[in-house]
Amino acid sequence: MKARDVVVVDGIRTAFGRAGEKGCFWLTRADDMVVRVIRELLRRNPRVKAEMVEENVWGATTQEGDQGLTLGRTSALLAGLPDSCSGFSVDRMCAGGLTAVTAAASEIALGACDIAIAGGVEHMGHHPMGATADPNPRFLTEKLVSEDALVMGKTAENLHDMFPEITREMADEYAVHSQRKTARAYSEGIIQKMIVPMTVYTREGWMVADRDQQPRPETTLESLRTLKTPFRAQGRVTAGNASGLNDGASGVLLMSADKAAELGVVPKMRLVGYAYAGVRPEIMGYGPIPSTHKILQRTGLTMEDMGIIELNEAFAVQCIVFMKEFGLKFPDDERFNALGGAVAFGHPLAGSGPRLAIHLMHLFGERPRARYGLTALCVGLGQGGSVIWENLQMNGSGTRSEE
């Protein structure tokens, strides 16, 4: 059986709040954020009835509490999807949401279902990364991995060690550009189109969460120079050139290309292929490089074919290493993270992968000449994930354009 084409019809996310008591989602459940995304995807696409959705897949790094009990199934029931809609949860840490998307897409490609919703959520205020984990002591006693592998900031310092030509000043310069791009995207009303407002209760009363809390548009090189390096004395990684700790959910609506045509739905992009790869856990930020090489080789495409590139931006150094590897212009290649990245928006772990796809979807609409785009991210404990997409907004019909 030939694999079917899988398309993204739509994508949406909540705002990304700061993790902790001062965050807008501190008194909001993670599964309720997922429900808000699911319901908005259906509201925005009335030709897709709830009873048509056959699968609901969600990624979360910490699968307990309000992110536990098989979130893909419980959120389907909470959102009003039919009992017939199956659901499951996945964990690939930072790539949990991306893995949910590729897993659901694989089901569609093989004919297991026609329509699915997939995404990722992380409430880092309720579930700090690794807080309840119990790593096997053999990891350290048998020196299977470095102690640095469990502290993401230390893995970023290790990348600086691998590439000593990448200085703290370069990382800070990159971070300033990220903040500026995000500020510009907000001023132009682009980001607002990707966020579903959510009414939430906070310690100050009710509010509408419709804007990311993490961006700092006032950031300057001078202000970044004053920040401490918490992971190493005289280090290079700071709070200013790293992503934040955040709460948020992102999701996409997927279906087969044939089903989209049957329903009269115009899709935004087609999944061309995906790949995951592993690296040494203590240099986890290097992960997107082998996963990207892998998918380029398997699809026969090159980085020159990629008109838009979205990388998660866990740390500035991670992005600079990627840019150097693939010959992208530092510090601001027009193809690369055009709306900013996680240094500005924040990084709610499993919620970040679908956010990249949503950015790409919108940028495809703004750049109809860009035929292909890449979404990629690094993954805690040493992995990378990369997905190549084809722009179906090139001719306005939701179909592939000829060369």
Catalytic, 362? Answer no
- For β-strands 383-391 and 269-278, DSSP reports them as antiparallel
Residue 401 confidence (pLDDT): 53
Alpha-carbon distance 72 to 57, whole Å? Answer: 5
Alpha-carbon distance 333 to 349, whole Å? Answer: 25
Alpha-carbon distance 277 to 16, whole Å? Answer: 27
Residue 398 confidence (pLDDT): 66
Residue 208 confidence (pLDDT): 98
Alpha-carbon distance 357 to 250, whole Å? Answer: 9
Tell me the mean pLDDT per 10 residues along the chain, length 403: 95 98 97 98 98 98 97 98 98 98 98 98 96 92 93 97 98 98 98 98 96 98 98 97 98 98 98 98 98 98 98 98 98 96 98 98 97 98 98 75 47
Residue 403 confidence (pLDDT): 40
Residues in the chain, overall count: 403
Determine the angle formed by the axes of helices 316-325 and 168-187, rounding to 10 degrees. Answer: 100
Residue 400 confidence (pLDDT): 60
Residue 1 confidence (pLDDT): 80
Catalytic, 378? Answer yes
> Out of 85, 113, 319, 378, which one is annotated catalytic?
378
- For the chain, list the domains and their CATH numbers: 6-125+244-389 (3.40.47.10)
Catalytic, 347? Answer yes
Residue 394 confidence (pLDDT): 79
> Out of 94, 113, 126, 177, which one is annotated catalytic?
94
| Count of C-beta atoms within a 10 Å radius of residue 151 | 15
